Amino acid sequence: MLVIDNISKTYANGVHALNSISLTIPSGLFGLLGPNGAGKSSLMRTIAGLQTPDSGSITLDGIDILNEKDSLRQRLGYLPQDFGLYPQVNPLELLNHFALLKGVTDKSRRREMVEHLLHQTKLWDVRKKALGTFSGGMRQRFGIAQALIGSPRLVIVDEPTAGLDPDERNRFLNLLSEIGEQVVVILSTHIVADVMDLCPNMAILAKGKVLVQGAPQEAIDALNNKIWRRTISKSSLIQHQQEFQVLSTRMIAGETQIKVYSHEQPDPSFTQISPDLEDLYFFKLSTGHHTTGEVQVQPVTVRA
């Protein structure tokens, strides 16, 4: 279990990246959802020991990982959003090199570990091909393979599916789900569907603060009977945004579809729909309500 307690971080330029972040993350996949600039990457770097917070503590299975960096390195697997590769080297050679750097000195054990990771990430058939020839999805799977060297207790993946085609995205998410059966896996992303499809627990961050934490479906249920939809002309969008609490807009067949939060039917032209995680995401970003544990949605007055 990973316990993050009251972590704050302000950069030299005055940006408050993290503001009293507290999360308890059990084994399994945990989704960290938020827009660009929400503080997700800052939190990931802090957990990974790449930067020191101004205050707070982080423990993994009872170990103070902020002050015991050697213990952290033995237990951590990290796939950052951007990572470099040696394009002329093949994955078999590079994983062997990484395993040696991580302290796996026994040659037989290292070979067994590397071969297992290549099979697990479906890269065995291309183990001798240059990494520079890999597709985006294959690169990400190699990134997971290097993150899993040494059987870590904590795996952090930052925006792993950005830019992947649908087939590679599904393959990568299935791999994450398999890994998450045994260790703590933090999936940091701005893609709502990734969290809804995979994660039994999640948190939504914005402006360095936790707005929601808990089980996705329980959080969504708090919006039951409060989400309404209608199709409008594009020219009337500004008027609707002034009159109602519009959560999201989407162009469909040349027309604008809007979703509105309201305790009552805004007007007869709106149809009530079942909420989803995207609705919760936009609601929390628009209101900035902070909730932990059992999710509570505060009433919002909407003009009808």
Q: Kindly state whether residue 292 falls inside one of the protein's structural domains.
A: no
Q: Containing domain of residue 225, as a range? A: 220-287
Residues 166 and 265 in one domain: no
Q: Is the pLDDT of residue 301 over 70?
A: no
Residues 267 and 173 in one domain: no
Residues 46 and 106 in one domain: yes
Residues 169 and 232 in one domain: no
**What is the residue-averaged pLDDT of the chain?**
89
Residues 66 and 197 in one domain: yes
Q: Kindly state whether residue 304 falls inside one of the protein's structural domains.
A: no
Shortest CA distance to 266 belongs to which of 300, 231, 303?
Answer: 303
Per-residue pLDDT reduced to its tens digit, 84-126: 778 899 999 999 999 998 889 999 999 999 999 999 999 999 9
Q: Kindly state whether residue 49 falls inside one of the protein's structural domains.
A: yes
Residues 193 and 102 in one domain: yes
At 197 the pLDDT is: 85
Residues 185 and 233 in one domain: no
Distance separating alpha carbons of residues 143 and 137, to the nearest angstrom:
10
Q: Which token pair is 60?
A: 């993994």
Q: Kindly state whether residue 294 falls inside one of the protein's structural domains.
A: no
Distance separating alpha carbons of residues 249 and 153, to the nearest angstrom:
41
Shortest CA distance to 90 belongs to which of 150, 164, 142?
Answer: 142
Q: What is the mean pLDDT of residues 153-179?
A: 87
- Last-in-domain residue among 214, 245, 269: 214
Count of domains forming the chain: 2
Residues 9 and 44 in one domain: yes
Q: Is the pLDDT of residue 3 over 90?
A: yes
| Residue 135 burial by Cβ neighbours in a 10 Å radius (0-12, 13-18, 19+) | exposed
- Last-in-domain residue among 214, 247, 279: 214
Residues 182 and 228 in one domain: no
Distance separating alpha carbons of residues 267 and 292, to the nearest angstrom:
33
Per-residue pLDDT reduced to its tens digit, 149-159: 988 999 999 88
Q: Kindly state whether residue 123 falls inside one of the protein's structural domains.
A: yes
79 within 8 A of 147, measured Cβ to Cβ: yes
Q: What pairs with residue 59 in β-bridges?
A: 3, 64
φ, ψ of residue 218 to 5 degrees: the values are -65, -40
199 within 8 A of 157, measured Cβ to Cβ: no
The pTM score is 0.84
* Residue written as token pair 């302290």: 103
Per-residue pLDDT reduced to its tens digit, 205-247: 999 999 999 999 999 999 999 999 999 998 999 999 999 999 9
Q: Kindly state whether residue 270 falls inside one of the protein's structural domains.
A: yes
CATH for 17: 3.40.50.300
